[in-house]
Each structure stands twice: as structure tokens, then as C-alpha cells.
Chains A and B, each alone.
Chain A
Amino acid sequence: MGSKTTTSKRTVFLGCFLGATIVLLVPHGLTSKCQYAFRRVFCVPLGISRSLTLSATAPAPPEISSEKYHTLQQEFQKLSNHAANLTAVITKQEGTIDRLTQLRVEPEWQKLSFVPANVFTAQGDDNVVINRGTRDLVQLKCFILANNAIVGKVSEIQKHQATIELISHQGAFLPVYINTRETQGVCHGLGQGQMEIQSVRYNRPVAMGQPVYTCNQAGLLGTPIIVGKVAACDRNEKEPYLWKIEMAPAVNLTQLDRVDVVLPGRP
């Protein structure tokens, strides 16, 4: 015989009431954790129903004709492209500012002024053309920097553009020293990206990988700037008291993109 135990409604009510009173008396900080837990456990259905609510309560887009929609779409595309172009210009200008700021951090270089330029034509015979000219105060024989290294000099100049003779250009020369000021020589361009350093006495210590700097250039460069490094060195067979040194440029001369023209004195 099974006996069924029943609970009177008064007992049920009292039990529930007591439980509810306890919950009511528990500090809010503690009970709020239960609410957070409930929301965390049922975050998926709550999220779905919230998304449904938001999509249902979102204001309906105004009805417009297809022609007007097409016109507006084109206008939007035009403005988007314009915004993208402006963003690109801003990014480029920021890059230029950063580059110039870095250059002027060097105390000696603060005496100089720099004109940022873009290389827009690379001529085959170790020449490049930049988009700066006399209008931008660029002068003949001004030095050209790329990534903080000397890459050439202005050889021809016009109002809006200038031709740069790279240090590898055949016949180009530049007084340099290797590692220390005592090891002086002249960097000669051999064409096709080749350079050699001549007139370095054999009694001077020269080794592969040593940096090559420019010697002081009156009125132009008051501070040594790197040009390249020694790529190979051997005794000159024709003139045994001199070194025969090949130099590698500090910057890849075939991939010049942005350069800075060094002007004597700040404007």
C-alpha cells in the first residue's frame, strides 16, 4: 500500500514566504550575482530575442525612388573615394613629417633644411628625376638623402624637377673616408650601380663591411653622413701602395622612392 503525503497550502505558503523573505533580506550585492549568473547562463536566448527586438524596433528606412537611390549611391561612392584619397594624403604627409622630424633630431643637421621629394622617373644611367626644382629652392650640387644616407647630387635643375646623379653614376665622385677620418679616399661611380673608392693608401687599415662616410663638404655638409660600406678590398695591382676597394651603397639605389634634398642653411 502506498501512502501519499500531502502538504497543506498553509505550509507551502509559509515555506515559500520564508524563503522569499530570506532572499529579500540578503544584501543586494550578493543577490545581484544571481541576476548576473542568470543573464550569463541564458545569454544566447536573451541575445537572440534582443536582436529580434532591435531589428523590429529599428526605424524603417525612408522610401525613395530607384533613380534617387542610384544617384545617392553614386554620390556616396564619390564621397567615399574622396575620403579615401584624403586619408591617403594625410597618411603620406604624416610619413613625411615623421621623416623630417627624425632628420632634424640630429643636432648637426638642424643647420640644414630638407626638401622632401618623390622620385618619379628612374633613368637607366644611374640618374633619377625628382619632383622638386628651383621653385622649391633646390640648387645644383645639393646632396640627396635617402633613408638618412647620401645617394647622390643634383646635376640638372629645372623649375619643377631636378635630375639626380646617383653616387654610382659613371664619373660621379665624392670625397669619403672609411671608418676613421684618417682613411680618406674618393668614391667614384662606375655606372650600373657599381662604385669604388680610390686613393686610399694601403698602409691604412681597411676591412670588408666597414662604413664609408662623406668628408666635410664646404657649405653643404658639415657632418659626416653614411654613403655605403666596403664590399670588397684588395691591393691595387697597378698601384701597389693603394687599396682597390669596392663599395656597396647604404641604400638600394634601384628602389629609391622618397628622398630629401639637403639645402645649405635653414630657410
Chain B
Amino acid sequence: MSYCLVDHSVVEDINVEGQLMHWIRFTILILIAAIVQSSLVNVLALTDAQIKPNLLLVLMVFFAIRCPAQEAIVSAFLIGLFADLIGAGMGPQLLAFGIIGSLISEVRHILVMRHIPQQMIAVFAAGLLCGLVSLILFRIKGCPVPTQTGHLILWQPLYSAALAGPLFWLFQFVTSLHHSKHRSVIS
């Protein structure tokens, strides 16, 4: 076996750079999801009430289940921020997504969320809670409350949960691409 001396400061720099790149890519992914959510998702709208899935909600649950706790919390708040940027007002969804995302990352050790049906239920529950919390916060802040709150609270989470399976697969695919690339760079 041969050993080589490793400069730890260099390794730390590489780690910091890797982390930064990781977060930049993550932010770009959320940004794309936000842009798609604000426009392209309208194609999937059902009925005259325009019930459409919430990509950001699914993304939030995906990261809350799969990432380490700290990253899950930050990503949940960040996704909430983007949800607010394309929404009716700043703050309500940021807080709602942050709290619910943190909660999911906390309970994932207690509740098993390994299989797709369980994850779909998690998406539905998270959507329900996020809808309720953000609605209350919308009222507190005095922002224009989104019309058809019933759809926001019930039908949208249901639709999002129904699409969670393929969306999780898609997100898994995108993140695995990133990880494989990252690994190849490191190796």
C-alpha cells in the first residue's frame, strides 16, 4: 500500500466549493420548478376551477425525505421563498413550507416513508397542512387571499400526491445525474 500526504486545507476548499456548487444547482432546480409551476403547470389544470399540481410542494417533500436534516430545513424554507415569489404575497408560504418541511424531515425517522404510496400520503398531508397554515398567514399578513381556498387546501394536495410518484422519479433522476457527475469529478 502506498500512502500520500494530504493537505487538509485543500480538501476543505474542495468541500466548500462542492457544497457551494451543490446549493447553486439546487437553487437552479427550484428556480426551474418555480417557473414551470407559474406557467407550464397550467396545462395540467383540471376542471374549470383550475386545479393543478404543486411542483414545489412535491419537491419540498422529496428533499425533506431524502436530505440530511439541516439541508432539508434550508431547502424547505428556500422552496417556500420561491413559492411566495410566484404567489400572492411574501411570507406565508415561506413560513408554511419551512415549518412543514422541517416537520417532515423530523418525523421521517419515526414514520416510514420509503415506498411511493407512503410518500404520496406524505405529500398529501404536507399539502393540506401547508395550505391551512399559509391561508391563516395570508389572512394575518393581509395579502389578497387566493381564491377558491378549498382547492388550495384539499384538491391541489390530492392532485400533487397523485403525481408524486412520477415526479419523485424525475427528481431522483435529476439529482442522481448531479451526484454521479459530482462523484466523477471527485474521483
Asked whether A42 lies within 8 Å of B77 as measured between CB atoms, the reply is no
Number of chain B residues close to chain A: CB under 8 A: 37
A20's partner among B9, B35, B98 (CB-CB below 8 A) is B98
Which residues in B have their C-beta under 8 angstroms from that of A13?
A: 73, 98, 102
> Given contacts A1-B8, A45-B35, A49-B36, is CB(A20)–CB(B42) below 8 Å?
no
State which of B40, B77, B84, B99 has its C-beta within 8 Å of the C-beta of A49.
B40
Determine if B35 and A46 form an interchain contact, defined as CB atoms under 8 angstroms apart: yes
Indicate whether A203 reaches chain B with its CB closer than 8 angstroms: no
Q: Give 1 or 0 for each of B147-164: 1 = CB within 8 Å of chain A CB.
A: 000000000000000000
Residues of A close to B77: CB separation below 8 A? 16, 19-20
User: Are the C-beta atoms of B8 and A2 separated by less than 8 Å?
Assistant: yes
Most buried by B among A2, A16, A28, A50: A16
Q: In the complex, what residue of chain B is closest to A25 when comparing beta carbons?
A: B91
If the complex has contacts A19-B77, A23-B91, A28-B142, are A53 and B40 also in contact, measured as CB distance less than 8 A? Answer: yes
Bin chain A's interface residue count. Answer: 20 to 34
The A interface is mostly helix, strand or loop, or mixed, namely helix
A26 at the binding interface (Cβ < 8 Å): yes
Q: Is B132 an interface residue (CB 8 A)?
A: no
Query: In the complex, which residue of chain A has the Cβ closest to the Cβ of B68?
Result: A9
Q: Cβ of B98: which chain A residues have Cβ within 8 Å of it?
A: 13, 16-17, 20
- Tell me whether A34 and B85 are in contact (CB under 8 A): yes
Residues of B within 8 A of A46 (CB): 35, 38-39
Q: How far is the CB of A17 from chain B (nearest CB, A)?
A: 6
Contacts of A34 in B (CB 8 A): 85, 90
Please indicate the chain B residues that have their CB under 8 angstroms from the CB of A53 in the complex: 39-40, 42-43
Tell me whether A56 is interfacial, beta carbon within 8 Å: yes
Indicate if the CB atoms of A57 and B42 lie closer than 8 Å: yes
Q: List B62-106 residues whose CB lies under 8 Å from chain A.
A: 69-70, 73-74, 77, 80-81, 84-87, 89-92, 94-95, 98-99, 102
State whether A2 and B91 are in contact (beta carbons under 8 Å apart), knowing that A20-B77, A49-B40 are contacts in the complex: no
Task: Give Cα A20 to B12, complex, Å.
Answer: 31
Q: Is A21 within 8 A of B95, CB to CB?
A: yes
Considering only CB atoms, which chain B residue lies closest to A30 in the complex? B90
> Does A217 belong to the interface (CB within 8 Å)?
no
Kindly list chain B residues whose C-beta atoms are within 8 Å of the C-beta of A28.
89-90, 141-143
4 nearest A-B pairs in the assembled complex, by CB-CB distance: A24-B91, A31-B90, A49-B39, A2-B8
15 chain-A/chain-B pairs, Cβ below 8 angstroms: A2-B8, A19-B77, A21-B95, A24-B137, A24-B141, A28-B89, A28-B141, A38-B85, A45-B35, A46-B38, A46-B39, A49-B35, A49-B40, A52-B40, A53-B43
Residues of chain B at the chain A interface (Cβ within 8 Å): 8-9, 11-12, 31, 35-36, 38-40, 42-43, 69-70, 73-74, 77, 80-81, 84-87, 89-92, 94-95, 98-99, 102, 137, 140-143
